[in-house]
Structure formats: C-alpha cells, structure tokens
Amino acid sequence: MMRNGGRRARRLRVAVEELDRRFLLVTVEDPYSWRSQSWWRRRVPHG
C-alpha cells in the first residue's frame, strides 16, 4: 500500500472518506448507543 510514493495509500484514503460520507448520509445517530462505541457503531439506518 505504501509503495510507489504512497499513491495507493492516498487512493485508499480517498475511497474510505467517500464511503464514510455515504454512510453518514444514510444513517442517523442512535440515541441509545454508548458513547464509548466507535462512531460507525453508534449509527443506525434511517427509519
């Protein structure tokens, strides 16, 4: 991942940021989740 001047690492980072953004758009924060959970585990689908 880090060879070739880190170009693959940059593409991976950009792809993950895009997926995170899309995930945030289709989910909402669960009011019953624990604060100690990771941010993506505290989110549930829009319902």
- Rounded to an integer, what distance in angstroms lies between the CA atom of residue 46 and that of residue 30? 10
Res 38 pLDDT > 80: yes
Please give the model's pTM, rounded to 2 decimal places.
0.74
- Rounded to an integer, what distance in angstroms lies between the CA atom of residue 7 and that of residue 33? 37
The domain ranges of the chain are 4-45
* Per-residue pLDDT reduced to its tens digit, 7-27: 788 889 999 999 999 999 999
Judge whether 40 and 28 are in contact, CB under 8 Å. Answer: no
* Per-residue pLDDT reduced to its tens digit, 23-33: 999 999 999 99
Average pLDDT over residues 42-47: 92
